[in-house]
Structure 1
């Protein structure tokens, strides 16, 4: 059995990383991942914990001797179960290979959590894998495990660079969206100000006209009263 450990820091918040995780594949670097299918998705009763199950399809060249052992195919499938916990601020992904599992088992655990030194702006990434080969001869097991660790390390590097590229694209896209929303909010504010100015003008004009109407009413009311008084005096 071989163990693989990896750790690095993303200069983005945990919320940002968690949202971007669902857009990680496909990307221009991790070309070995050709498809990701969601099999199950459940939200707990609190609405704070999301569990997802996905089937990841990979296509990658492998040595001839490995293809002979696993059945001669460069297509492999991986089952992944992830849990997003908003209460704990954690994203945990656990995966296991389905292809060639009688010969080789790879259990991987990936964790994303706010960086303890800068939880608002950075995210800590931890990756662990347990790689175990099953073969009659120890030498064959060692060779399979050694190759698997090297391939795993290679794919981990691709995964990091691929996710960085996705984060960069999403960051630019979200910033552009923020600019559009800010511009829209500014236009709305300007429109509200214009409407208020127009309303104030209309109110003032209405008040002027109302004042004139009141004056006319008072004038005609007084004239009518004087006319009645003169009529009574003449009688």
Structure 2
């Protein structure tokens, strides 16, 4: 088993980050072209805690190397199951995902948490952790190699993902600013 961890501070408020999070796989993010579909399976609010729970199925273009796809079966798409929890009282978004494609050979369990930075207002902390376990039989050296390669790919994708999400945040801020200014102009004209 290998662990990938990543921490980052976004220069955006938790409110901005928690709203933009739902747009991170959309057209504003040029770093997620591999995501070809996001289907919401269920969404509910716990009346006692006000926590929003969402289940989604994310469909991606397969990014495994060609030799792996040839060896394991050439699938063009991969599936990821995600459950997220938005807690507005605690200003916390928690997203847990698990690969479904090739999960009998490799398990990738990722947890992402966005929290309001309590010491620096207007900033949001991002914590990411992935647990990667090669489940294929055989020698430990092969399992270690598969896990190491997966961790490296995760590291590369995390950097691209952060860059893309920064773009989504910047565009979101600009769009909301324009909408606010338009609303103010309409109110002044009325």
Query: What range describes the TM-score normalised by the shorter chain of this pair?
Result: over 0.9
The residue correspondences of 1:1-235 to structure 2 (distance < 5 A) are 1-26=1-26, 27-46=29-48, 48-118=50-120, 120-135=121-136, 136-188=138-190
Question: What is the CA distance between 1:168 and its match in structure 2?
Answer: 1.2
Q: Is the 8 A contact 1:133 1:144 kept in 2?
A: yes
- Contact persistence 2:35–2:60 (CA under 8 A): yes
- Deviation at residue 61 of structure 1 after TM alignment: 3.3
Deviation at 1:18, TM superposition (A): 0.5
Task: For residue 74 of structure 1, report the CA deviation from its aligned partner.
Answer: 3.6
Q: Identify, as 1 or 2, the structure richer in strand.
A: 2
Q: Which runs of 5+ in 2 are unaligned?
A: none
Write out per-residue CA displacement over residues 71-96 of structure 1, whole angstroms, 9 at most, x where no aligned residue. 22241100000000112111000000
Aligned with 1:37: secondary structure?
strand
TM-score (norm 2): 0.93
Structure having the higher helix fraction is 1
Distance 1:41 1:15 in 2: 19
In 2, distance between residues paired with 1:80 and 1:34? Answer: 15
Q: CA deviation at 1:139?
A: 2.0
Give ranges in structure 1 of 5+ residues lacking alignment: 189-235
SS of the residue aligned with 1:30?
coil
Number of residue-to-residue matches in the alignment? 187
Considering Cα pairs closer than 8 Å and 6+ residues apart, tell me whether 1 or 2 has the greater RCO.
2
